[in-house]
Every structure is written in C-alpha cells, then in structure tokens.
Amino acid sequence: MSMDVAAVRTAFPALTDGVAYFDGPGGSQVPRAVADAVADTLCSGISNRGTVSAAERRADAVVVKARAAVADLLGAHPGGVVFGRSMTQLTFDLARALAAGWKPGDEVVVSRLDHDANIRPWVHAAAAAGVTVRWADFDPRSGELATEAVTSLLTGRTRVVAVTGASNLLGTRPDVPSIAAAAHAVGALVFVDGVHLTPHAPVDLAELGADVFACSPYKFFGPHLGVLAADPALLETVLAPKLAPQTDAVPERFELGTLPYELLAGVTAAVDFIARLVPADGDRRSRIVTSMRSVQAHEDVLLADLVARLGAIEGVTLHGSPSRRTPTVLFSVRGRTPDEVHLLLAERGVNAPGGSFYALEAARWMGLGEAGANRAGLAPYTDQRDVDRLVEGVAALV
C-alpha cells in the first residue's frame, strides 16, 4: 500500500506556511494530533504518578502508554524503555554508569561516521576509567563504514561497540547486524544510535542485534525528548547514581526527576500517527512496520530523483554514495559557503541548512572541516514539488 503524501501533509499545520522543509534530520514537523495530545495532557487534571486520585492514575497511564508505544515502534520491551531529556543526555548517563564496571586496559569502539552524541560520551567515560578508545574509520569518498573497519578492532577487552544505525550526515546505514554479531562473539555490548534511522525505516532491536538503542521522538513527529531502549534484564545489571527516595525499579531508576508527562503523551500520539500513515490491519506493531515500509518506498523514489538532478548540476558536489542509505543528501555548491547556500535557499522558502550537524568527526574525516556542507533530508511529508523547488533553488546558485 503506498502512502498518500497529499493526505499526510494535511495533518501538519506547519506545512501551510509554504516552506519546503529539508531539515527533518534536525527535527521533523509535528502533526496536529501530537500537539493536541500534549495540550490535552497539560489541560487535564494531572499529578505525579500514583494510584489514588484520578489525576495520579492519569499521569501513570500516560507513562505506561508511552513505553508501550515506543516498544511497538522499536520492537522492544516496554519495561526497557527509558525516557530522558535527549539522546545525548541518556547516552552520557549510560556511558558513565557502564564505565563504573570497566577496568584499565579495557576498550571501547566508536566510529568516525557517528554523530558526536555516540562518540563523546564514550570518549569521556573511557578517559575517566583508563579505558582505550578504538576508532573505526569509514571511506571518506563513498561514506561507507565497512563491517571489517569495526570488527577488526574487536578484542577480548572490548566492552562496548558504539555504532550508528544511520549517519545523520550522509545517510549511510552500516551493516549493524553483522557488526553486532561479531561484537557479541567477544562479549561486548552493542549500543546503536538510532536517532537518524528511526524516522526512515522499520526498526527491530533483535534484528539489529542492538543491546541498547537510542532515538529521539522529535525526529519522528514527536516532542523534544530522548528515548533509550534495552532488554530490561540488561538494565537490571546497570547501576546508576540516583536520588535516595527514587525507586530502584527498571526502567524508572534511570529516569532522573519527574517525567514530562505531556511530552510522553505526544510520543504516544506520534507513534499512533506513524501506525496510521497508510491504511492497514493488525496490531500497532505490524501497522508501524507497514507504514515505515511505505515511507521508505516514498522517500526512495524522491531520493533517486533528487540525487540524479542535484548531481547533474554543474558546480554541485554530492558527498558520499552509500549503497544502503536513508534519504539524506549532503552537497556543496562551488563558490558558495554552506552558510550562504543555507541563507539563499531559505530566502526562497527552502530549508536546507549547512554545517557538520554534530557529525564533526565525519565532516573532518571527509575534508569538509567544521563548516561541513549542506544537508537535504527527506521526510514522509516531502513531495515532488518540494524536491523541484530545492533543485531549482540550488541551480540558481551556480
């Protein structure tokens, strides 16, 4: 079943402003239903989680529903879904907690393809614990991260392999299941940054081989917060500093302070929105998978068109050509800085920012430096007219 993009677009109030939003990898636009869920929660009687008053039960139900929704989205266990301020914060917290069990001489593996949020937390934690960081390099021309580039670094001392599900700079989708199998063979824990993957493909933690998977609902129509998902049994083995009155139960013991109930209601609404992107029968998990396959099909068609036409413009360079990718295109325009391109396109109502997008190691490795390049990311609401406007806008700059 294909996705009706015109119908999907009507669900997003922001799209009536006439802007072509190619900045989805930085944060997607939000459907009315998600905003309504946030507002309804704020306007209803709500207290701290509890079982006595209706307001307490309402708060509790919001949390339980949000864990179930994320579990359906990721093929995860609701009891292993942890909410936090952002993926960055959750990753820092987990890295610090895991590092308490590391010994000098242990090793962690990070990839240069990753967003800094899946590098720096491990680098800091390793430094504090006297642990060696091993860097997996990718091919700066193709943007591919070869499986062997990671697996060749594994030893009996490897404690964590941190790798992205998809690069937010180039769209590259490494072969995470193969990397994970090799990491597990040496007893390492696999941490997958799924922030850029989750909006573009069906996700299944077990299929990926991810012990821990992190993502950010604001990249897939939801509010601004972060999510970490793992087997609850694994989380039981991790101790983290927390307040004394706070429960020791998993996953709550990783959630510091009061949860943002209104945002969690928005997360549930975002997952329900995804589940309804195309008409389908079955439970929510199977409808999500059907929807995400349709999203992929829709985005792949537009991506092929965008890559062919942008690449054909004299003076435009496309960076990377990964074989398995999300619909994310990094490009430079001869004689223009990324900031200039960003500004001139924005003046035409086309949003395609410039920079390294916090994939700083990757941008440097490719020779793009801190300035990076311009990024055009497609979303389920992107249509052919948007793509035409981007191509016309870039062509006018050369």
Ligand X SMILES: Cc1ncc(COP(=O)(O)O)c(C=O)c1O
Taking CB under 6 A as the criterion, the residue among 29, 41, 88, 332 binding ligand X is 88
Residue 330 as a binder of ligand X (CB under 6 A): the answer is: no
Over the window 40 to 79, marking each residue x when it contacts ligand X by CB under 6 A and - when it does not, the resulting string is ----------------------------------------
Residue 86 as a binder of ligand X (CB under 6 A): the answer is: yes
Residue type at position 273:
F
Tokens matching residue 249 = 């139960």
Cβ proximity to ligand X: between 216 and 268 the closer is 216
Q: What are phi and psi of 228, to 5 degrees?
A: -130, 135
Residue 195 as a binder of ligand X (CB under 6 A): the answer is: yes
**Listed ranges 96-104, 191-199, 282-290, 339-347: which one lies at the site for ligand X (CB under 6 A):** 191-199
Cβ proximity to ligand X: between 85 and 242 the closer is 85
Residue 123 as a binder of ligand X (CB under 6 A): the answer is: no
Residues 156-185 touching ligand X, rule: CB under 6 A, are 164, 168
CB of 58 to ligand X, least distance (A): 26
Residue 106 as a binder of ligand X (CB under 6 A): the answer is: no
Helix residue spans in 219-334 (DSSP H): 232-236, 261-275, 284-311
Residue 290 as a binder of ligand X (CB under 6 A): the answer is: no
**Listed ranges 110-118, 203-211, 279-287, 294-302: which one lies at the site for ligand X (CB under 6 A):** 110-118
Starting at the edge strand found earlier in the chain, the sheet holding 107-111 runs 81-84, 226-230, 212-215, 189-193, 158-164, 107-111, 132-136
Tokens matching residue 212 = 């821990």
Q: What are phi and psi of 373, to 5 degrees?
A: -155, -170
Kind and range of the H or E element at 108?
Answer: strand 107-111
CB of 159 within 8 A of CB of 189? Answer: yes
CB of 164 to ligand X, least distance (A): 6
Do strands 373-377 and 354-355 pair parallel, antiparallel, or not at all (unpaired)? antiparallel
How far apart are the two ends of the chain, measured CA to CA in Å?
39
Binding site for ligand X (CB under 6 A): 25, 86-88, 115, 117-118, 164, 168, 193, 195-196, 216, 226, 358
